[in-house]
Amino acid sequence: MLIGNVFIDGRSAALAPMAGVAGHAFRKVCKEFGAAYLVGEMASAKGLVMSGRKTAELLSITEEERPMAVQIFGDEPETVAEAARICMRYCPDIIDINMGCPAHKVAGNGGGSALLKNPALAGRIVRAAAKAVPLPITAKIRIGWDNDNINAAEVAKVLEANGAAAIAVHGRTRAQMYAPPVNIRAISDVKKAVKIPVIANGDITDRLSARKMLDETGADLLMVGRGACGRPWVFAEIRAFLEGREFEGISLEGKFEVMLRHIRLLCEDMGEAHGMREARKHAAWYMRGLRGAAAYRQKIAQLTEFCQLEEIAQEILAVNI
């Protein structure tokens, strides 16, 4: 499939833009397992325009991560347009605008999912960004603000009319956050409403949920978020299934090899002290489903050095292999 003039391999899935999770290290590992398309961590348009160094750090891209989008959020068309121009310094393939984040610090200030309550403003934001830069502009939305206001199809039409090149849809309302099952019908309604590519997101954790989402929505591409945390090989599983191949799975030893590579990359990117603090949540995700995982998570919560994680992995393998 094409997003604007950018080719995306629809036989796999995209990595969702998870704040505080989808940094360089995680993106690289997901790409190695066949993620078709990466979207970086969300950055504030206002922060970019005000020259925030920390915000700008979220936009850097390496060649092995392509095709990749950077994601920005904001509620002022002029500010988002200027932020899009600034994004050009980092040479992304696509610029995505977040219109689905449910966090109060984003939606409470008029950005993210708050834009679902004002489709006209959402359209003006996309139009301003599309006029400002030569790259494809996409948007990530939810299906509505709450169950009484499910309007994703309406919003999608407005965004398409204002120049959006694709739309990703998380199948929950802002009020639902992440708890209930996704509303597949609402995603399907978006697909029927527009001609541009639609990317389905929510509760995709393995080959079966991927197949169900594609079959029932007709989406052009899948987007995996939390389902990839501690399981970046989910992209290889989905790709194999969609291509009609068997996925051999991954052994416990193989899982820990992936985990250690991921955390090593994290430390190289951030430095060991900062990297190991960030590693705690990732390592805990890799431990899910293990016998005695709770006790290991307690150890992981105290990690300060990479060698400590290596020792934990060796201890678990000695018991389980």
- Note the pLDDT tens digit of each residue in 275-302: 999 999 999 999 998 887 788 888 999 9
CA-based radius of gyration for the chain: 19
Q: Based on the domain organization, do 176 and 235 belong to the same domain?
A: yes
* Residue ending a domain, choose from 242, 272, 293: 242
User: So what's the pLDDT on residue 321?
Assistant: 63
Confidence of residue 52 (pLDDT cuts 50, 70, 90): low
For the record, the structure tokens of 55 come out as: 């915000």
Nearest Cα residue to 213 out of 155, 239, 205? 205
Report the share of the chain in percent with pLDDT over 70: 98
pLDDT at 10: 85
Cα pseudo-dihedral 66, 1, 18, 292, rounded to 10 = -100
pLDDT of residue 225 exceeding 90, the answer is: yes
At residue 92, the pLDDT reads 97
**Dist CA 148 CA 143 (whole Å):** 11
CA–CA separation, 263 and 278 (whole Å):
9
What's the mean pLDDT in 37-64? Answer: 88
**pLDDT tens digits for 70-96?**
999 999 999 999 999 999 999 999 999
Q: Are residues 266 and 164 in the same domain?
A: no
Check whether 56 has a pLDDT greater than 80.
no
Which of 183, 212, 242 is the C-terminal boundary of a domain? Answer: 242
- Model pLDDT, residue 248: 86
In the three-class reduction of DSSP (H, G, I as helix; E, B as strand; rest coil), residue 28 is classed as: helix
Residues 175 and 267 in one domain: no
Q: What tokens were used for 157?
A: 């039409």
Give the helix/strand (H/E) hosting 237. Answer: helix 234-242
Set 101, 229, 267, 307: catalytic member: 101
Residue 170 and residue 24 share a domain: yes
**Does 87 participate in catalysis according to the annotation?**
no
pLDDT at 289: 85
Computed over every residue of the chain, the mean pLDDT equals 94
| pLDDT band at residue 237 under the 50/70/90 scheme | very high
Same domain, 173 and 76: yes
- Whole-number pLDDT of residue 7: 97
Residue 68 sits at the vertex; the CA angle it makes with 67 and 74, to the nearest 5 degrees, is 150
Asked if pLDDT for residue 233 goes beyond 70, the answer is yes
Picking from 180-189, 210-219, 288-297, which range would have the lowest pLDDT averaged per residue? 288-297
Asked whether the predicted pLDDT for residue 33 surpasses 70, the reply is yes
- Which pLDDT band, with edges at 50, 70 and 90, does 29 fall under? very high
- What is residue 294's predicted lDDT score, i.e. its pLDDT? 84
Q: Which domain holds residue 113?
A: 2-242
**Which pLDDT does position 115 carry in this prediction?**
98
Tell me what pLDDT residue 128 has.
98
pLDDT higher than 70, residue 156: yes
The CA distance from 163 to 158, in Å, is 9
- Note whether 167 and 284 are same-domain residues: no
Q: Which of 183, 219, 228, 186 is nearest to 200 (CA)?
A: 219
CATH number, domain containing residue 268: 1.10.1200
Q: What is the arithmetic mean of pLDDT over 55-70?
A: 90
Q: What is the pLDDT of residue 320?
A: 75
Asked if 260 contacts 29 with a C-beta cutoff of 8 angstroms, the reply is no
In the listed set 189, 210, 242, which residue is the last one of a domain according to the structure? 242
| Beta strand ranges found along 213-256 (DSSP E) | 221-224
What is the rounded distance in angstroms from the CA atom of residue 159 to the CA atom of residue 157?
Answer: 5
- Taking only the tens place, the pLDDT of each residue in 123-142 is 999 999 999 999 999 999 99
Is 306 inside a domain boundary?
A: yes
**202 and 93 both lie in a single domain:** yes
pLDDT surpassing 90 at residue 57: no
Both 305 and 164 in one domain: the answer is: no
Structural domain tally of the chain? 2
- Does residue 203 share a domain with residue 224? yes
On whether residue 181 sits in a domain, the answer given is yes
